[in-house]
Structure 1
């Protein structure tokens, strides 16, 4: 799905004030035996966020197998639903039976408030093996032991490189190698204007958000007790220093000029597709975009580079994904769980969905299915997704607020050179994040 990250960030911001409000209606206990039994004739309503015709059809095709197995359950699919609508329906006591969201960042809110039911009783009764999901996936679908979501397709990040611009160079494995190669491959006008960027380090460049690149330095976003960790973890300084050193080499004014010239991420004029960027970190969906919009570009993919002192972690990357669950107050909870269980664990359904949207299927068995028909460059992302060194950002009761604050710091203060005391700035950032977490009940 091309707009995965854009939708996820927008949904997370929209949901920021809704997760706690949603807990005002109903209880949050075990509802796994509520409503009619799964084998009874009934209709379940499923809300999801996909809206484009090919996306809606992909969801319908993935659900077709469930309808055959459970002919007694009529499935009504409702497209283009936002987190705001979902939260309002739960708060009002009239939710659908199944809800899906692009916003794994909001899992902490939903789990803590009880807006999405704890699925642990359902999982236990179904004897579902959670080890079919990679560790990082298991992490972003629960909060403090309360698993209120299941994964439904995923995103994995890796390095894209233009083979013609690389001129025989191999993709870098470390950030030091990436920096050296970026400088070697960059082409400028006499006035410093960037004609071809070997690699654009700015967090303002598409998927080069701090969330995705800082992960490659092995950052620990939160302390074990759930507090902000920016000042305490030296990996954040390592990321920031790498980011700023390459930006300064380009010249911040030249970086800003380049960023203003590149347009929207999913336009055909994307600079990677046009040969204006030699290397870029991006999600797996870019392979489908390149297949459709830039089929003549000869490119390769590889895991994203890691910090120079962490080469054993090479092969992993940032992962996140779409989530699905059963809201509190669902009238057909048992049938809803059967639907969620099928859609998130059935290899055929996941492969059908993944092929249509260009996303990573979210179980280990589906990753090796011979029925995957994605471009050859896609294999990198299948490998990254199941790599034990891959990681995600942990859920909190106020969503991705701590990530948003760090991104704003990098974008608005650090990159422009407004920070004189980095240690002090990071301590101040920790204080802001912790205050917000405390207010949200974290």
Structure 2
């Protein structure tokens, strides 16, 4: 499950980068393997916390224990990136750490926060190019260094409540989404929103520009790493569309409605409660709906695309969980066995994918007959395989770039900014100025 924790860790990453400049981690020249069967206990930190997720991990770690009975895994749940960073800085990291965000991969690799895994992969005769879909390679390495491995993948699509849709098919274009949103929205006599067809604001849960940009095929950066946001007309297309729909609702009315929602990760999610007919979300929502709102009759579809890009329908944003061995891990040999098991063992990946409904990240796991493929989950497997689906390649300022654009979007949709061209030009300036400070990443 993708949870956006990168922004909270951004300051810690920057500080750690400054503290470790010029102290690149030395990876072993020959990756060790756990040939010694002396009993060892390793620490594994991860961010999962929901009951179904924890049970899935317990079952998976039990399978690891059967295969490696001399390795005991002490797992710690609900760990965020800043805790991992602090542990590395303090010289007391876990042996294995998992992160929900790919936004920090460039920093993780550049600062040596996680060890380079290329020697381990070579010693284990693992060819990442043959094992993982190409899109995954873009967010698990930086400047030739693969310091993390993909464990599971996330794909983003459109969820729709069949009852609230009133027989309408899911929209395929932005115009169709806007028209259907207006048709399905229910307001009271004072204009307050009771049910929204769709909430267009970028502040709505998974509507961040990193996810919605794919609907218009928008680019984040130029080949040299500088910002393409101001020069790519697709960002203007997306933000104009969002603003028009926000204005139809009334920004204040929409914000009042949005702020009445429960926590995204709880049973009080408004989609669960029938307050929203359509919502952008990741594949994990299937498992959460089964657990928290089993009576909701829903369907899934790809996100709509720009009206002049019909050929791109079926694409989505791809990201995922990443896992690696922090610098200073006490038991790197045993740690690698766990990382390898969780990222390359087909049975383990399929078991986790079936339990928490994430997309398995290896080609053999995707093709496994044991992978559960009901219609609502198949949507996300198809999105994952779509050649037009995109990710954000590792960038030294990935978190800053996203935050800068989203802040601009909020200014625009709220009406505080009046000139969109000037606003996006300012986004470019801020991003490029930051890039200069980081020496081009």
* Aligned equivalents of 1:330, 1:316: Cα separation in 2: 39
* Aligned equivalents of 2:261, 2:22: Cα separation in 1: 46
* Aligned equivalents of 2:99, 2:146: Cα separation in 1: 15
* Aligned equivalents of 1:133, 1:187: Cα separation in 2: 45
Q: Deviations over 1:184-218 (max 9, x none)?
A: 22222333222222211111112122221122111
Aligned-pair distance for 1:10? 5.3
* Partner SS state of residue 337, structure 1: helix
Q: Deviations over 1:232-266 (max 9, x none)?
A: 11111111111111111222222122213323323
Output aligned runs, 1:244-393, within 5 Å. Answer: 244-373=243-372, 376-393=375-392
Matched, 1:23 2:20: yes
Aligned-pair distance for 1:26? 5.4
**Unmatched 5+ stretches in structure 1:** none
* Aligned equivalents of 1:202, 1:150: Cα separation in 2: 33
Matched, 1:137 2:136: yes
Q: Deviations over 1:90-125 (max 9, x none)?
A: 233443322211121111101111221222222233
Q: 1:32 to 1:80 in 2, by over 3 A?
A: farther
* Partner SS state of residue 360, structure 2: coil
Query: Which deviates more, 118-127 or 137-146?
Result: 118-127
* Aligned equivalents of 1:244, 1:212: Cα separation in 2: 17
Which of 427, 430, 435 is residue 429 of structure 1 equivalent to?
427
Q: 1:292 to 1:374 in 2, by over 3 A?
A: farther
* Aligned equivalents of 2:255, 2:336: Cα separation in 1: 49
Instruction: Name 2:181's counterpart in structure 1.
Output: 182
Aligned-pair distance for 1:293? 2.1
Q: Is the 8 A contact 2:30 2:119 kept in 1?
A: no
How many residues are matched?
A: 437
Which of 100, 103, 128 is residue 105 of structure 1 equivalent to?
103
Q: 1:354 to 1:32 in 2, by over 3 A?
A: farther
* Aligned equivalents of 1:13, 1:423: Cα separation in 2: 28
Which of 80, 83, 94 is residue 82 of structure 1 equivalent to?
80
Instruction: Name 2:48's counterpart in structure 1.
Output: 50
Query: Which deviates more, 183-192 or 243-252?
Result: 183-192
* Aligned equivalents of 1:57, 1:22: Cα separation in 2: 38
* Partner SS state of residue 100, structure 1: strand
Q: Is the 8 A contact 1:19 1:110 kept in 2?
A: no
* Aligned equivalents of 1:308, 1:342: Cα separation in 2: 44
Q: Deviations over 1:290-341 (max 9, x none)?
A: 1122222211101111112222221110121111012223343333223212
* Aligned equivalents of 2:173, 2:127: Cα separation in 1: 35
Q: Deviations over 1:325-381 (max 9, x none)?
A: 122233433332232122101111112222332322222322343333476412211
Aligned-pair distance for 1:288? 1.6
Q: 1:51 to 1:179 in 2, by over 3 A?
A: closer
Instruction: Name 2:195's counterpart in structure 1.
Output: 196
* Aligned equivalents of 2:339, 2:379: Cα separation in 1: 28
**Unmatched 5+ stretches in structure 2:** none
* Aligned equivalents of 1:320, 1:204: Cα separation in 2: 19
Which of 27, 34, 39 is residue 35 of structure 2 equivalent to?
39
Aligned-pair distance for 1:414? 0.4
* Partner SS state of residue 199, structure 1: coil
Instruction: Name 2:126's counterpart in structure 1.
Output: 128
* RMSD of equivalent CA atoms: 2.3
TM-score with structure 2 length normalisation?
A: 0.91
Q: 1:138 to 1:333 in 2, by over 3 A?
A: same
* Partner SS state of residue 400, structure 1: helix
Aligned-pair distance for 1:54? 4.2
Q: Is the 8 A contact 2:3 2:101 kept in 1?
A: no
Q: Is the 8 A contact 1:100 1:322 kept in 2?
A: yes
Query: Which deviates more, 12-21 or 112-121?
Result: 12-21
* Partner SS state of residue 26, structure 2: coil
* Aligned equivalents of 1:271, 1:337: Cα separation in 2: 41
* Partner SS state of residue 183, structure 1: helix
Aligned-pair distance for 1:400? 1.0
